[in-house]
Structure 1
Amino acid sequence: MGDIWLGSLTIFMTIMVVQGQLKTGFYSSSCPNAEATVRSTVESYFNKDPTIAPGLLRLHFHDCFVQGCDGSVLIQGSSAERNAFPNTGLRGFEVIEDAKSQLEAKCPGVVSCADILALAARDAVDLSDGPSWSVPTGRRDGRISLSSQASNLPSPLDPISVQRKKFSDKGLDDHDLVTLVGAHTIGQTECRFFSYRLYNFTTTGNSDPTINQDFLDQLQALCPNKGDGLKKVSLDQDTPAKFDVSFFKNVRDGNAILESDQRLWGDPDTQSIVQKYAGNIRGLLGLRFDYEFKKAMVKLSSVEVKTGTQGEIRRVCSKVN
């Protein structure tokens, strides 16, 4: 028991030190309108197209899983990480660049692209009727972006053991895993990333037996066999534009679209967390998810951050200085 307690204390202290390098209101003196500028930019794009919200959230998530939360996913180049296959369909680059250009006009060389991305992810969730939270800032931008390093990004094909390992490698536990995957409540995917579950799950022409039969019929109507693989489908068919606990109910009921999401119900440890969130759409369970999601996002956005004199403050987010 003593060893377990000491191990838990060490992990807790490590998280505190990492987050301690960042601080809320980092730009309060150097660029007082930084957060308001990001917010107004995200809101203007969201008002034209609400689906930009999950795009920005995914962009931040994918940034943090490669090189840490350092804006490296924003860098352009033939061998840059944004061109890796796991980053197919990433969206929201223009929102970050727009906010950055406004901030460069107000406070040149002060606000990092990595911080803009973390703030934009928070604002995207808030605008989708999700929670808001104080984002610790002070990240610096990385100068390295390699597509070869994106292989550790979570995949819709990953079994729980692989998902757990990928999150654990970033200091994130099972609770963080399930909570952060809950962001799929406002996400979208393309038919090509899950149609094998509908028609050829084990290469014998069958469907994934964990899919609810009624839902299978719906999905086959949305994504006909050999149909348009690029057609977009909401990961939460019930309330696709609202940040709520409907996604977890779908997982519980066999109505998850991605295989990796449905597998959360097949593991006893992750299943118990899904069940805690799933009970009903509104009320205390939804509020608990809001609270836990805020904590998990702060933890995620502190992964392997660059601070102090590390990295740089890019003048343009798509290229190093």
Structure 2
Amino acid sequence: MKLGTMSFAAAACTVAMAGSALAECEITLRSSDTHADGYPTVAAVNHMGDLVKERSGGRICIEVFHSAQLGEEKDTIEQTQFGVIDLNRVSMGPFNNIIPETQVPSLPYIFRSTDHMHKVLDGDVGADILAAFSNHDLVGLTYYDAGSRSFYNSQKPITSMDDLAGMKFRVMQSDLFVDMVAALGANATPMPYGEVYSSIQTGVIDGAENNWPSYESSGHFEVAGYYTLDQHLMVPEVLVMSKMSFDKLSAEDQAIILQAAKDSTPVNRELWAAREAASEEKVRAAGNEIITDIDKAPFVAAMQPVYDKYVTDPALQSLVARIQAVE
């Protein structure tokens, strides 16, 4: 594995400067997050830090570098594997090409609801996916919520797959996303996020897809008045630790880290739910039409060719079956 010398050195310099602020701690763990200060994942790791400091008698501290101060997710993953960064909160997506098991929670309609996702991640399946990180110089600690992505558009309410036929939706630059939209009968248009508002406004595309906070904070709800809660993607966030950093700790301190991470998950979920509710309230107050009465079964059935294409390994197929079996 190669790591750019400049990004490595820059990160090392940044964490060294910041580490001096916590000199009173015997051990200071540096944690990276691309989200802004106050975001639910940042707040959750800060809460974890409070628990770790309390339970270690003040010996271990966690300093969170938010707002991509240590780099974007791809760079910080490599730095965490090398031990330059100790802890890292990353979306499951960037791990898809590194850890095959992470591809499964990233599949469309793999989770039937938020409750179903929580039951899966809190159970044996979630534990097995976290365990897979150990083969890649990382320790999987816990999962955080990132909401569910649904379709919104400027043209009409979408209540069935027939309504999607021929419509143009912006997606991220992802073969999986393109194939998902195509399987539903619509046309996928990959484009930068910053171009979506004007593209909907001018009719270049009919709509896009995202979660409640993004739909609201981006202003997309102003130009796309129909939001169909099909919840096609619920890709969780994951908190990982450098195996190099983890192995330097005593068994007692490792246990403190693991438990504090688990205990931070309910905090994240509560904060995320509150953020979603605030965005939903603002959107509904604007008079947008929110479509919740849809039969998702045909949407799910349409994903079979997508699953056949992307889930070819028997172990991953078993993982899919186990998730689907969780009640």
Task: Report the TM range for the smaller structure's normalisation.
Answer: under 0.3
TM-score (norm 2): 0.25
Name the TM-score, length of structure 1 as normaliser: 0.25
Q: Which has the larger radius of gyration?
A: 2
